[in-house]
Amino acid sequence: MANYTKTTLIDDIATDLGLAKTTTKEMVDAIFDKIAAQADAGVTVAIPGFGKFEMRERAARMGRNPATGQPIEIAASRSLAFKAFKGKS
């Protein structure tokens, strides 16, 4: 199975809309940047029919080093999460 990359997405959109690839790349980058910035600010970005993006936080916790079995502290972290739309396609 082949991957559908950002470059392929840009090429397809440019072809479908009759736009230059550079213009399309700027638009796609702007959309991704805006989603990331809003999620980072704590806003849930919901796109009906597609899904929603939100920032999730994980608290610090204890874990184990798999090589030695020694306990280690895993730092708190934040990551962007996506949940797909579950409606009819």
> What does pLDDT average to in each consecutive run of 10 residues of the chain (89 residues)?
93 97 97 95 95 95 94 94 84
Report the candidate in 2, 3, 1, 22 with the shortest Cα–Cα distance to residue 11. 22
pLDDT at 43: 96
* 32 is a domain residue: yes
Residue 88, pLDDT score: 67
State the pTM of this model. 0.75
| pLDDT at res. 1 | 76
Instruction: Give a yes or no: residue 31 inside a domain.
Output: yes
Decide if 89 is inside a domain.
no
Which pLDDT score is estimated for 38?
Answer: 96
The burial of 39, by beta-carbon neighbours within 10 Å (0-12 exposed, 13-18 middle, 19 or more buried), is given as buried
Q: What is the CATH number of the domain that holds 52?
A: 4.10.520.10
Determine the structural domain holding residue 35 and report its residue range.
6-84
Is residue 41 assigned to a domain? yes
Total tally of structural domains belonging to the chain:
1
Domain membership flag for residue 1? no
